[in-house]
Copies of this chain bind each other. A is one copy, B any other.
Amino acid sequence: MKAETNTAGAAQDDPACSARLPLAARNGPVSMLVSRVARLHRIAAGKLLKGLGLYPGQEFLMMHLWDTGPVRQSELIKAVDLDPSTVTKMLQRLEQAGHVRRRPDPEDRRAVLVESTETSCALLTEVQRSWGELEEQTLAGLTPDERVQLARLLTRVEANLCTETADCPEEARRAALR
Protein backbone atom coordinates (compact mmCIF):
# COMPACT_ATOMS: atom_id res chain seq x y z
CA MET A 1 0.00 0.00 0.00
CA LYS A 2 2.11 2.75 -1.28
CA ALA A 3 2.71 4.77 -4.35
CA GLU A 4 -0.90 4.39 -5.32
CA THR A 5 -2.25 7.79 -4.68
CA ASN A 6 -5.40 6.22 -6.09
CA THR A 7 -6.74 7.09 -9.46
CA ALA A 8 -8.42 10.16 -8.15
CA GLY A 9 -8.35 10.20 -4.42
CA ALA A 10 -12.06 10.21 -3.87
CA ALA A 11 -14.99 7.88 -4.44
CA GLN A 12 -13.96 4.88 -6.46
CA ASP A 13 -17.02 2.78 -5.68
CA ASP A 14 -18.68 2.66 -9.06
CA PRO A 15 -18.76 -0.62 -10.97
CA ALA A 16 -17.48 0.76 -14.26
CA CYS A 17 -14.63 3.11 -14.78
CA SER A 18 -16.85 6.14 -14.71
CA ALA A 19 -14.02 8.29 -15.82
CA ARG A 20 -14.70 9.85 -19.17
CA LEU A 21 -18.42 9.23 -18.88
CA PRO A 22 -21.05 11.90 -19.36
CA LEU A 23 -21.73 13.69 -16.11
CA ALA A 24 -25.42 12.97 -16.41
CA ALA A 25 -24.65 9.28 -16.64
CA ARG A 26 -22.40 9.08 -13.61
CA ASN A 27 -25.33 7.69 -11.68
CA GLY A 28 -25.67 4.78 -14.06
CA PRO A 29 -22.41 3.47 -15.44
CA VAL A 30 -23.76 -0.02 -15.96
CA SER A 31 -26.82 1.31 -17.73
CA MET A 32 -24.51 3.16 -20.04
CA LEU A 33 -22.60 -0.01 -20.62
CA VAL A 34 -25.77 -1.91 -21.33
CA SER A 35 -26.87 0.69 -23.84
CA ARG A 36 -23.60 0.60 -25.70
CA VAL A 37 -23.36 -3.17 -25.72
CA ALA A 38 -26.95 -3.37 -26.87
CA ARG A 39 -26.29 -1.13 -29.81
CA LEU A 40 -23.09 -2.86 -30.84
CA HIS A 41 -24.69 -6.25 -30.50
CA ARG A 42 -27.64 -5.22 -32.65
CA ILE A 43 -25.32 -3.79 -35.26
CA ALA A 44 -23.26 -6.95 -35.32
CA ALA A 45 -26.37 -9.07 -35.65
CA GLY A 46 -27.69 -6.81 -38.37
CA LYS A 47 -24.50 -7.14 -40.31
CA LEU A 48 -24.64 -10.91 -40.20
CA LEU A 49 -28.32 -11.01 -41.06
CA LYS A 50 -28.14 -8.54 -43.88
CA GLY A 51 -26.33 -11.09 -45.99
CA LEU A 52 -29.28 -13.41 -45.50
CA GLY A 53 -31.87 -10.89 -46.61
CA LEU A 54 -33.19 -10.24 -43.14
CA TYR A 55 -33.45 -6.96 -41.31
CA PRO A 56 -32.54 -6.79 -37.64
CA GLY A 57 -35.51 -7.85 -35.58
CA GLN A 58 -37.10 -10.09 -38.15
CA GLU A 59 -34.97 -12.96 -36.91
CA PHE A 60 -37.01 -13.34 -33.76
CA LEU A 61 -40.23 -13.53 -35.69
CA MET A 62 -38.83 -16.14 -38.02
CA MET A 63 -37.33 -18.11 -35.17
CA HIS A 64 -40.71 -18.47 -33.55
CA LEU A 65 -42.35 -19.44 -36.82
CA TRP A 66 -39.75 -22.08 -37.48
CA ASP A 67 -40.33 -23.52 -34.06
CA THR A 68 -44.08 -23.62 -34.04
CA GLY A 69 -45.21 -23.96 -37.60
CA PRO A 70 -48.45 -22.22 -38.55
CA VAL A 71 -49.60 -19.92 -35.79
CA ARG A 72 -52.21 -17.32 -35.30
CA GLN A 73 -50.81 -13.86 -35.54
CA SER A 74 -52.09 -13.05 -32.08
CA GLU A 75 -50.07 -15.96 -30.73
CA LEU A 76 -47.01 -14.71 -32.51
CA ILE A 77 -47.52 -11.26 -31.09
CA LYS A 78 -47.69 -12.63 -27.59
CA ALA A 79 -44.62 -14.75 -28.17
CA VAL A 80 -42.33 -12.02 -29.40
CA ASP A 81 -44.03 -9.45 -27.20
CA LEU A 82 -44.16 -6.66 -29.74
CA ASP A 83 -46.81 -4.17 -30.66
CA PRO A 84 -49.46 -5.69 -32.93
CA SER A 85 -48.93 -3.01 -35.52
CA THR A 86 -45.23 -3.71 -35.57
CA VAL A 87 -45.83 -7.37 -36.25
CA THR A 88 -48.36 -6.61 -38.95
CA LYS A 89 -45.93 -4.49 -40.88
CA MET A 90 -43.02 -6.82 -40.40
CA LEU A 91 -45.11 -9.70 -41.67
CA GLN A 92 -46.21 -7.74 -44.70
CA ARG A 93 -42.59 -7.21 -45.60
CA LEU A 94 -41.55 -10.75 -44.78
CA GLU A 95 -44.40 -12.00 -46.93
CA GLN A 96 -43.37 -9.85 -49.82
CA ALA A 97 -39.83 -11.12 -49.39
CA GLY A 98 -41.13 -14.68 -49.65
CA HIS A 99 -40.13 -15.77 -46.17
CA VAL A 100 -43.61 -16.06 -44.82
CA ARG A 101 -47.10 -17.00 -45.92
CA ARG A 102 -50.33 -15.68 -44.45
CA ARG A 103 -53.87 -16.91 -44.81
CA PRO A 104 -57.12 -16.25 -43.01
CA ASP A 105 -58.04 -18.61 -40.24
CA PRO A 106 -61.16 -20.56 -41.23
CA GLU A 107 -62.07 -21.00 -37.57
CA ASP A 108 -62.08 -17.31 -36.82
CA ARG A 109 -62.42 -14.96 -39.69
CA ARG A 110 -60.73 -12.08 -37.93
CA ALA A 111 -57.59 -14.05 -37.25
CA VAL A 112 -54.66 -14.68 -39.57
CA LEU A 113 -52.56 -17.80 -39.76
CA VAL A 114 -48.86 -17.29 -40.37
CA GLU A 115 -46.23 -19.80 -41.37
CA SER A 116 -42.73 -19.79 -42.75
CA THR A 117 -42.38 -20.77 -46.37
CA GLU A 118 -40.45 -23.80 -47.54
CA THR A 119 -37.73 -21.67 -49.06
CA SER A 120 -37.15 -20.04 -45.70
CA CYS A 121 -35.96 -23.36 -44.31
CA ALA A 122 -32.64 -22.70 -45.95
CA LEU A 123 -32.59 -19.51 -43.98
CA LEU A 124 -33.07 -21.41 -40.77
CA THR A 125 -29.73 -23.10 -41.20
CA GLU A 126 -27.99 -19.87 -42.05
CA VAL A 127 -29.53 -18.00 -39.19
CA GLN A 128 -28.47 -20.75 -36.85
CA ARG A 129 -24.92 -20.44 -38.10
CA SER A 130 -24.92 -16.67 -37.93
CA TRP A 131 -26.32 -16.77 -34.45
CA GLY A 132 -23.52 -19.02 -33.35
CA GLU A 133 -20.99 -16.76 -34.98
CA LEU A 134 -22.45 -13.78 -33.21
CA GLU A 135 -22.26 -15.63 -29.92
CA GLU A 136 -18.63 -16.41 -30.35
CA GLN A 137 -17.85 -12.90 -31.46
CA THR A 138 -19.66 -11.58 -28.43
CA LEU A 139 -18.01 -13.86 -25.92
CA ALA A 140 -14.56 -14.11 -27.46
CA GLY A 141 -11.88 -14.39 -24.84
CA LEU A 142 -14.23 -15.24 -22.03
CA THR A 143 -13.66 -18.47 -20.18
CA PRO A 144 -16.58 -20.91 -19.89
CA ASP A 145 -16.84 -19.87 -16.31
CA GLU A 146 -17.09 -16.22 -17.16
CA ARG A 147 -19.72 -16.98 -19.76
CA VAL A 148 -21.85 -18.77 -17.25
CA GLN A 149 -21.35 -15.90 -14.86
CA LEU A 150 -22.38 -13.37 -17.46
CA ALA A 151 -25.46 -15.36 -18.39
CA ARG A 152 -26.40 -15.63 -14.76
CA LEU A 153 -26.07 -11.92 -14.14
CA LEU A 154 -27.90 -10.98 -17.31
CA THR A 155 -30.73 -13.27 -16.38
CA ARG A 156 -31.08 -11.50 -13.07
CA VAL A 157 -31.00 -8.13 -14.79
CA GLU A 158 -33.63 -9.29 -17.24
CA ALA A 159 -35.83 -10.33 -14.37
CA ASN A 160 -35.35 -6.98 -12.72
CA LEU A 161 -36.32 -5.03 -15.79
CA CYS A 162 -39.14 -7.44 -16.48
CA THR A 163 -40.87 -7.10 -13.16
CA GLU A 164 -40.75 -3.36 -13.34
CA THR A 165 -42.06 -3.29 -16.87
CA ALA A 166 -44.81 -5.61 -15.69
CA ASP A 167 -44.16 -7.57 -18.78
CA CYS A 168 -42.56 -10.65 -17.34
CA PRO A 169 -42.78 -13.75 -19.47
CA GLU A 170 -43.33 -15.85 -16.39
CA GLU A 171 -39.67 -16.30 -15.58
CA ALA A 172 -39.32 -13.04 -13.77
CA ARG A 173 -39.65 -14.02 -10.19
CA ARG A 174 -37.86 -17.27 -10.76
CA ALA A 175 -34.68 -15.58 -11.84
CA ALA A 176 -35.05 -12.62 -9.55
CA LEU A 177 -34.65 -14.73 -6.46
CA ARG A 178 -31.80 -16.82 -7.68
Q: Which residues does A use to contact B, with CB under 8 Å?
A: 13, 15-16, 22-31, 33-38, 40-45, 47, 59-60, 62-64, 66-67, 124, 127-129, 131-132, 134-135, 137-142, 144, 146-151, 153-158, 160-162, 164-165, 167, 176
With A16-B151, A22-B63: A158-B128 Cβ-Cβ less than 8 Å: no
With A15-B148, A38-B38: A158-B24 Cβ-Cβ less than 8 Å: no
Interchain CB contact under 8 A, A165 and B132: no
With A15-B148, A33-B158, A154-B34: A40-B165 Cβ-Cβ less than 8 Å: yes
Q: Tell me how far the C-beta of A79 lies from the nearest C-beta in chain B, rounded to whole angstroms.
A: 9
Q: Tell me how far the C-beta of A14 lies from the nearest C-beta in chain B, rounded to whole angstroms.
A: 8
Q: Is the interface of A mostly helix, strand, loop or mixed?
A: helix
Interchain CB contact under 8 A, A38 and B37: yes
Contacts of A16 in B (CB 8 A): 151, 154-155
Q: Tell me how far the C-beta of A109 lies from the nearest C-beta in chain B, rounded to whole angstroms.
A: 30
Cα A176 to Cα B141 in complex, Å, equals: 8
Q: Apart from A30-B147, A40-B162, what 4 extra A-B contacts exist at CB < 8 Å?
A: A15-B150, A24-B66, A30-B135, A33-B155
Closest 7 CB pairs of A and B: A38-B38, A27-B132, A28-B135, A15-B151, A22-B63, A40-B161, A15-B147
